[in-house]
Structure 1
Amino acid sequence: MNTALRSTKTGPCAMHACMKLFLRFALGMVAALSLATPVAAATTTVRIVHLELDPDGRYDETRLFFRGLAQPLGRPFAGAEVALREARFVGQAIGVEFALERASGADAKALVAAVERLNKDGVRFFLIDAPGAVVAEVSKAARGRELLLFNVSAPDDALRQAQCQPNLLHTLPNDAMRADALAQFLVSKKWRSVLLLEGPRPEDRLQADAFERAAKRFGLKIAERKPFVLSNDPRQRDQGNVALLTAGADHDVVFVADSDGEFARSVPYRTVRSRPVVGAEGLAAAAWSWAWERHGAPQLNARLEKHAARKMADPDWAAWMAVKAVVEAVVRTQNAPFAALAKYLKGEEITLDGFKGNRLGFRAWDNQLRQPVLLATHNAVIERAPIAGFLHPTNNLDTLGFDQRDSRCAF
């Protein structure tokens, strides 16, 4: 280099040689720098779409006015948003960015159209927030496509049984899991005789049927199963009077199947006998409770409350859990092709932390997320099921809900 610089004084040809050497030196430096600083890989965006029915009577403010134990506190999209924020930096190691979108429709047909359009655009993961009948129709229409649907708000047992689909996963516990959790608790307390009060809604009947099944499974006795009606009609007064409804056969506890919650809130302290109330009021079986204080739960509750200005409820947790499951599967499989990713997500190797103290994963026979169920009042978690002493040959969490031998799901 010094020789070349000195030769610049000897004439034009020497100057030309000098420029060639300088350019060669500059190109070498650029190459060296490019090797020392690797170029960032192109980022792939994994899109997650939250589908919801709009309008959806389950979130009607007039219905949620009393904020019963059996009801949500708001749309679960907030739970999905919290999970996405937590995953902001997780995918960077493999060059993946996660994006959350929201789509709504007035009925199942509109949601099916949205799924088809978005799936053609590359979306493989959908959260669905809709009543059971809508979830069943959408998942049936989506069968065979390269996508996964996560049910975050429909507890219907039929979705895990006769109406199950291979691409439909459930992060919300179903009616059977909740009923089994309460039944285990009642057996542990030796409260074996139950008065069952059943509301007029189809959802009430599903809850009552689930509890009757649980009672038979765990050796409880249904003393009576009585219908109630919340009405101002004098001819139906007897069916809406708590004292009259609870004055029959002796019992240890009252189970109220009331998806609306308005009647259930009037049952505690109005029974003829001094008996505990469970089900829709008193002590409820839940996926989540803002009062749960273990395994990192206070931090999660604080994040949701800060984000949505309300407490976390079951569908919020289920949506949060669904996004976490997608993120975990994408990261662990290095964003593998759909078939491999879906296989991992539904397989035995996946480990999901739901902040409830157990390793969580999906059951192979019905795609239901194994999980503990919290037994909670309005402001305290009393117990976590499975209750100590209720055992299973392979996984004690399978004492809640449909075990493989009970499954009528045929993918």
Structure 2
Amino acid sequence: MRLLAVLGGLAALLPAAAAGAGTVRIVHLEIDGDPRYEETRLARRALAQPLGRPHAGAEVAIREAQFVGKAVGVDFTLERVTGADAKPLIAAVERLHGQGVRYFLVDAPAAVVAELARAVRSRDLLLFNVSAADDALRQTQCQPNLLHTLPNHAMTADALVQYLVSRKWRSVLMLEGPLPDDHLIAEAFERSAKRFGVKIVEKKPFVLSNDPRQRDQGNVALLTAGSDHDVVFVADSDGEFARSVPYRTVRPRPVAGADGLVAVAWHWAWERNGAPQLNSRMEKQAGRRMADSDWAAWIAVKSVVESVVRTQNADFPAVVKYLKEGDVTIDGFKGNRLGFRPWDNQLRQPILLATHNAVFERAPIDGFLHPTNNMDTLGFDRRDSSCAL
């Protein structure tokens, strides 16, 4: 009922005669053999990890768009393109752009997203990053035609640290993995800790290995001994080590980061703002629950649909202006009207703080205030941004 009411409201704003009949093609780009979706990794069902390709979330959004599309005389379609690396994806974008396609969802690691965005920088098109959380894509590697619907590391770290402060858990033991992405997560947490007054009392490296020479670096009891702390934060992009940390610490302390308490864009246990209906549609479409990147793909498609409808299917520059200059407000089923930050093209949004089967809080936490929009206490505010669009 909620979906019909929302779509019906959109349709009422725009009679079919007012919108030029036509087709809006949306293309989902992805990497063949992307290691983030390797079967054994997906089978772990680790917190803060994808549960499958986010194309499924885009499919849910396209199905939702059909109702309003018919009402306004526009047919929204979704196509899927796979490439081995950035080069075939760039070629595909160039070819499809020549056919009139202007909207692309990008499901790829950060390096591929950055290369693709640089290559098509001069084209009149929009790329939506739906699965790369790297801060650099919103900072030094930002591009004017690259929008981000997945929250970045800075946003999720700020959400988590706000919660720790609200609980008066101000001393943290950090366990950091050896992977480059682990380092990015740790850097973001350190920035947030400094921003909100949380002390990292010690930082220790961990290694997940069968090598007996590295056994001590994978021993949770040894790693968590010797320091007094309120919380253990685990920077583990893979999630395999993190799931062994809760209930194995020397002191009885909560665990956060990659397991225990996680900060996520979406969680199947979120029960407010129409979320159960969205989760139900995802499970019906994909046969699994919705996770972060699925939601990011869903909201990216929804952003395009909303902008096309509200501008009465105007030409591409008018849609972009509406989408990027703060006029668009999108219902992400998280309780706030969402829109893109003009200084770095990041979708501002609440962050959910959850365990494996419950959502405990939604950030920004009460009491963390901003002069214009409290959601800008999460991630890079305008004054903090090094993006030069």
Counterpart of 1:280 (choices 254, 258, 269) is 258
Select the residue among 290, 311, 316 that pairs with 1:333. 311
Which residue is equivalent to 1:74?
Answer: 52
Alignment partner of 2:178 out of 200, 206, 213: 200
Counterpart check, 1:221 vs 2:199:
yes
The structure 1 residue matched to 2:85, chosen from 107, 124, 132, is 107
The residue number in structure 2 matching 1:147 is 125
SS of 1:361 mapped into structure 2: strand
**1:235 is matched with which residue?**
213
What is aligned with 2:235?
Answer: 257
| Corresponding residue for residue 178 of structure 1 | 156
Cα deviation, residue 39, structure 1: 10
Pair 176,41 (structure 1): closer, same or farther in 2 beyond 3 Å = closer
**1:39–1:143: structure 2 CA closer, same or farther, 3 Å change rule?**
closer
Task: Tell me which amino acid in the other structure corresponds to 2:99.
Answer: D
Supply the AA of the counterpart residue of 2:341. R
Q: Specify the SS of the correspondent of 1:88.
A: helix
Structure 2 CA distance, aligned partners of 1:93 and 1:381?
36
CA RMSD of superposed structures (Å)? 1.3
- Mapping 1:343-358, distance limit 5 Å: 343-358=321-336
CA spacing shift, 1:41–1:138, aligned 2, 3 Å = closer
Q: Which moved more, 1:42-51 or 1:281-290?
A: 42-51
State the aligned residue count: 374
- How far does the alpha carbon of each residue in 1:353-375 deviate from its partner, in whole angstroms, 9 at most, with x for none? 00000010000000000000000
Match of 1:26 in 2: none
5 Å matches for 1:16-95?
43-95=21-73
2:372 aligned with 1:383, yes or no? Answer: no
TM-score by length of 2: 0.94
Sequence identity percentage: 77
CA contact (8 A) 2:19 2:74 kept: no
Structure 1 residues 99 and 107: alpha-carbon distance in aligned structure 2, compared to 1, 3 A threshold: same
Cα deviations across residues 325-346 of structure 1 (Å, max 9, x unaligned)?
0000001111111111101011
After TM superposition, the structure 1 stretch with the greater mean CA deviation from structure 2, 138-147 or 61-70, is: 61-70
- The correspondence for 1:188, drawn from 133, 146, 166, is 166
What's the CA shift string for 1:271-321, capped at 9, x where partnerless? 000000000000000000000000000000000001110000000000000
Amino acid at match of 2:299: M
> Could you say which residue in structure 1 is the equivalent of 2:9?
none
Mapped to 2, the partners of 1:49 and 1:246 lie a distance apart of 47
Q: Which residue of 1 aligns with 2:141?
A: 163
Q: Which amino acid aligns with 2:245?
A: V
| Distance in 1 separating the partners of 2:314 and 2:123 | 17
CA apart distance, 1:67: 1.1
Kindly name which structure, 1 or 2, has the bigger radius of gyration based on alpha carbons: 1
Task: Give 1:270's aligned residue.
Answer: 248
SS in 2 for 1:51: strand
Q: Which of 223, 226, 251 is matched with 1:245 structurally?
A: 223
Q: Give the one of 299, 304, 320 matched to 2:277.
A: 299
CA distance in 2, matches of 1:42, 1:184: 47
How many angstroms apart in 2 are the aligned matches of 1:161 and 1:116? 25
- In structure 1, the residue matched to 2:104 is 126
Identify unmatched segments of 5+ residues in structure 1. Answer: 1-37
Deviation at 1:92, TM superposition (A): 2.8
Letter matched to residue 48 of structure 1: I
5+ residue gaps, structure 2, are: 1-15
Write the distance in 1 (CA, Å) between the matches of 2:155 and 2:17: 50
Q: Is the CA contact 2:20–2:313 (under 8 Å) kept in the aligned structure 1?
A: no
Q: Judging changes above 3 Å, is the alpha-carbon distance between structure 1 residues 219 and 51 closer, same or farther for their aligned structure 2 residues?
A: same
Comparing 366-375 and 57-66, the one that deviates more = 57-66
Query: In 1, Cα distance between the equivalents of 2:200 and 2:17?
Result: 69
CA–CA distance in 1 between the matches of 2:329 and 2:64?
17
Comparing 229-238 and 85-94, the one that deviates more: 85-94
Aligned partners of 1:225 and 1:52: how far apart in 2?
35
What is the Cα deviation at residue 349 of structure 1? 1.6
State the distance in 1 between where 2:329 and 2:240 align.
39
What residue is the counterpart of 2:372 in the other structure?
394
- The offset of 1:66, in angstroms, is 1.3
How far apart are the structure 2 equivalents of 1:40 and 1:319?
28
Per the TM alignment, residue 64 of structure 1 is displaced from its structure 2 partner at its CA by 2.1
The alpha-carbon deviation at position 40 of structure 1 amounts to: 12
Equivalent of residue 314 in structure 1, options 271, 281, 292: 292
With the length of structure 1 as denominator, give the TM-score of the two structures: 0.89
Q: 1 CA distance for matches of 2:20 and 2:235?
A: 53
Query: Secondary structure in 2 aligned to 1:177?
Result: helix
SS state at 2:165 partner: helix
Q: Is the 8 A contact 2:18 2:312 kept in 1?
A: no
**Following the alignment from structure 2 to structure 1, what is the Cα–Cα distance between the partners of residues 352 and 152?**
13
- Aligned to 1:150, what secondary structure does the other structure show? strand
Aligned residue type for 1:364: P
What amino acid maps onto 2:258 in structure 1? A
SS in 2 for 1:213: helix
